[in-house]
Amino acid sequence: MVGLSLGATVQGGGGPAFAVGNTLEGRTAAVAESPVREAAPPQPAPTPSLNRRARATPGSEVTLTRPRRLRRVEPTYPDQLRALGVEADVMVQVELTDQGAVRAARILRPAPQDAFNQAALAAAWQERFSPAARDGVPIEYTLSFTYRFRASE
């Protein structure tokens, strides 16, 4: 343990610094470090929450109709990865408009090979769905699904 006297811990305290306690572990600094720290660098803005408003509450009398896939688009299997026998699963999330069109698509669980991820995103943008509805009124909806790339298929 290395210690300092109180006189050496404040700026302008002209008192001497003395090592106290077990001093076998190091030396006491000649000048005490200033207790005033510089301001921390600005933190980046927090990312927006992925939480969304509940579509239906258990026990409520709301009728929710989920979207149905109208056109399934099979992603293009990258030729080089197929030739090597590499397989992958890519989970995507799509945000649908109240008309069932894809407004946004993103990768939730990527494959290690970026070619699979790009193929999955390209396919997700081409998918078409029937609109989701709450009590018969079309609503926006977010859903997730997985594209499976299998060399044997």
Tell me: the pLDDT tens digits for 114-153? 999 999 999 999 999 999 999 999 999 999 999 999 988 6
| CATH number for the domain harbouring residue 79 | 3.30.2420.10
For residue 65, give every residue at least 6 positions away whose Cβ sits within 8 Å of its Cβ, in sequence order, or none: 132, 133, 134, 136
Q: Is residue 52 part of a domain?
A: no
Q: What is the pLDDT of residues 69-118, one digit of tens each?
A: 998 899 999 999 999 999 999 999 999 999 999 999 999 999 999 999 99
Total count of domains within the chain? 2
Q: Is residue 143 part of a domain?
A: yes
How far is 119 from 101, CA to CA, in rounded Å? 19
Q: Is residue 29 part of a domain?
A: yes
Q: Which domain holds residue 90?
A: 64-149
Pick the more confident residue, 62 or 14.
62
The answer, yes or no, to whether residue 55 has pLDDT greater than 60, is no
Q: Is residue 87 part of a domain?
A: yes
